[in-house]
Amino acid sequence: MTWQAVLFWLANMVCDTIGQLSFKAASLSADEAEGIEHWKRLFRSPFLWLGITAFVLECAFWLSFLSLVPLAMGLFVGSANMILVMVGGRLFFNEQITPARLGAIGLIAVGVMLVGWGHA
């Protein structure tokens, strides 16, 4: 991958992680309310709007990344986002990383290395 592709990929991963974690935080902030009040709280949450902004930026970075790499490679390397989201879930929301999930993270990381940097 070129240095530009790596930069767009990293920016995409950061934006995706911020977006996913922000949506989780927004949903938790509105979790206590029910019905229409739940939705009102959700739409007033700054985390929701941070998540939406992050996903808009992610879309731009993703399109830029895909313009520089083959689609098959881009889709596989893009799956590395799951690693950051899972680690962020653990750090910010105390979600569990089980042995099976840890094994899956390892397989994803190995696959990303093989596909992303082993591509001729």
Backbone torsions φ then ψ of 96, nearest 5 degrees: -80, 140
Q: Is the pLDDT of residue 32 over 60?
A: yes
Mind listing the pLDDT tens digit for each residue in 56-89? 999 999 999 999 988 877 877 777 788 889 999 9
Q: What distance in Å separates the CA atoms of residue 112 and residue 59, rounded to the nearest whole number? A: 20
pLDDT the model gives residue 55: 97
Q: Are 78 and 5 in contact (CB under 8 A)?
A: no
SS3 for 102? helix
Report field, pTM of the whole predicted structure over 0.85? no
- How many other CB atoms are found less than 10 A from the CB of residue 75? 12
SS3 for 98? coil
Q: What is the DSSP letter of 1?
A: -
Total count of residues recorded for the chain: 120
Q: What distance in Å separates the CA atoms of residue 54 and residue 28, rounded to the nearest whole number? A: 18
